[in-house]
């Protein structure tokens, strides 16, 4: 059992959502949430003074955690460190007790950190890009992936954009994954220069959607499906079916309340099949991308 101290502490002042409400939220979505974070190194965004206060990312284990498993991993410099890794509901709630609002897993398992088992295309629209263009951009990413034989899945981020997620089975070493993601982002920017930009430089992004392929590297993270976001309105990152995209109003279409309602009504996992698909990028013919 994890005890939530200061249960009445307000985390989302705009909604009056408390720390206990955050714990109850994760408890309510746990069955759907856990498979996306379990057994992976996870960075958490902690907001001890609430979502509008100072929040900070944490990736390493700390004193006082008894349910969270530490995973020893090698870091860039060659030293090793103990990363946060969750296996069960208690670990999730323990991190909420420590002020966690958001959960951001790696695209790899802690037991196999050098190989990606998923790829994420993070579509980041500049502030002047209207939503229908973001939706169309996601459809185009899906189409291009389909042209090289890859199935993909869609997630609202709870923020401005969308994530297009590609499962890789068997898992694949990071270098070819990174190269493929870069190639796809370049193909988008070259083929649709009025819509996409593949360079991270902020200055040239006006009016464009940045395809952030850099999520696809060892140690990089993406927000977990069903994670809350520490932003106004308590939005949630939500996996959706491709045929729902047309009626979505934005990346923040779901929140702490509607996410729970949706899950209750939901008969089928919107990402049905995600865990069974066998597909990879090794030996893939990328020539459809360069035309
Ligand atoms: P939005 O749709 O608003 O862009 P997002 O989750 O995609 O939402 P980004 O700022 O585009 O937000 O970041 C993409 C991903 O990069 C995040 O989901 C997060 O996992 C990761 N990320 C960003 N900044 C950090 C950080 N400082 N530490 C760890 N991970 C980060
Ligand atoms: Mn993004």
Q: What is the pLDDT of residues 68-103, one digit of tens each?
A: 999 999 988 889 999 999 999 999 999 999 999 999
Taking CB atoms and a 6 Å cutoff, what residues make up the pocket around ligand 1?
A: 43, 57, 104, 122, 124, 157, 159-161, 212, 215, 221-223, 251
Test site for ligand 1: of 104, 162, 216, 235, most ligand atoms within 8 A of the Cβ: 104
Rounded CA gap, 234 and 18, in Å?
Answer: 11
Report which of 240, 227, 271, 234 is spatially closest to residue 252, judged by C-alpha positions: 234
Measured in Å, residue 12 CA sits from the centre of ligand 2 at: 21
Rounded CA gap, 230 and 238, in Å?
Answer: 15
Count Cβ neighbours within 10 Å for each residue of 194-226 and write b for 16 or more, e otherwise: ebbbbeeeeeebeebbbbbbbbbebbbbbbbbb
pLDDT of residue 286: 80
pLDDT digits (tens, 9 = 90+) for 22-57: 999 999 999 999 999 999 999 999 999 999 999 999
Spell out the SS3 assignment of 105-125. EECCCCCCCCEEEEEEEEEEE
pLDDT of residue 201: 76
Q: CA 83, 278, 236, 257: dihedral to nearest 10 degrees?
A: -120
For residue 240, pLDDT over 90 is answered with yes
Q: Which atom of ligand 1 is nearest to the CA of 212?
A: 11
pLDDT digits (tens, 9 = 90+) for 264-286: 999 999 999 999 999 999 888 88
Q: Which atom of ligand 1 is nearest to the CA of 59?
A: 29
pLDDT of residue 241: 98
How many Å from the N-terminal Cα to the C-terminal Cα in the chain?
A: 57
For the chain, percent helix, then strand, then coil, each to nearest 5?
30, 25, 45
Angle at which helices 19-37 and 258-265 cross, to 10°: 50
pLDDT of residue 291: 60
Looking at every residue in the chain, the average pLDDT score rounds to 96
DSSP code at position 214: G
Write down the pTM of the prediction: 0.97
Rounded CA gap, 243 and 245, in Å?
Answer: 6
Q: Which atom of ligand 1 is nearest to the CA of 163?
A: 7
Count Cβ neighbours within 10 Å for each residue of 88-127 and write b for 16 or more, e otherwise: ebebbbbbbbbbbbbbbbbbbbbeebebbbbbbbbbbbee
């Amino acid at each position: 059992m994890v005890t939530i101290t200061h249960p009445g502490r307000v985390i989302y002042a705009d909604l009056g959502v408390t720390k206990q409400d955050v714990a109850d939220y994760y408890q309510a979505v746990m069955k759907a949430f856990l498979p996306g974070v379990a057994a992976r190194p996870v960075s958490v965004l902690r907001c001890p003074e609430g979502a509008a206060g100072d929040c900070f990312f944490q990736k390493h284990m700390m004193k006082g955690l008894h349910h969270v498993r530490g995973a020893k991993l090698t870091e860039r410099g060659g030293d090793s460190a103990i990363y946060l890794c969750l296996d069960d509901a208690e670990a999730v709630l323990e991190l909420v007790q420590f002020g966690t609002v958001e959960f951001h897993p790696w695209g790899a398992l802690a037991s196999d950190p050098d190989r990606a088992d998923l790829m994420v295309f993070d579509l980041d629209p500049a502030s002047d890009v209207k939503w229908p263009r973001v939706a169309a951009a996601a459809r185009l990413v899906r189409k291009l992936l389909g042209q090289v034989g890859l199935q993909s899945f869609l997630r609202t981020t709870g923020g401005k954009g969308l994530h297009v997620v590609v499962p890789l089975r068997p898992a694949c070493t990071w270098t070819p994954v990174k190269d493929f993601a870069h190639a796809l982002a370049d193909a988008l920017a070259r083929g649709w220069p009025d819509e996409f930009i593949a360079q991270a430089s902020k200055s040239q992004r006006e009016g464009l959607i940045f395809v952030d392929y850099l999520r696809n590297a060892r140690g990089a993270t993406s927000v977990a499906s069903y994670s809350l976001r520490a932003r106004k309105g308590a939005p949630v990152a939500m996996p959706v079916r491709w045929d729902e995209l047309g009626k979505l109003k934005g990346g923040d279409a779901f929140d702490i309340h509607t996410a729970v309602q949706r899950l209750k009504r939901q008969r089928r996992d919107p990402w049905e099949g995600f865990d069974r698909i066998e597909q990879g990028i090794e030996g893939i013919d990328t020539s459809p991308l360069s035309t």
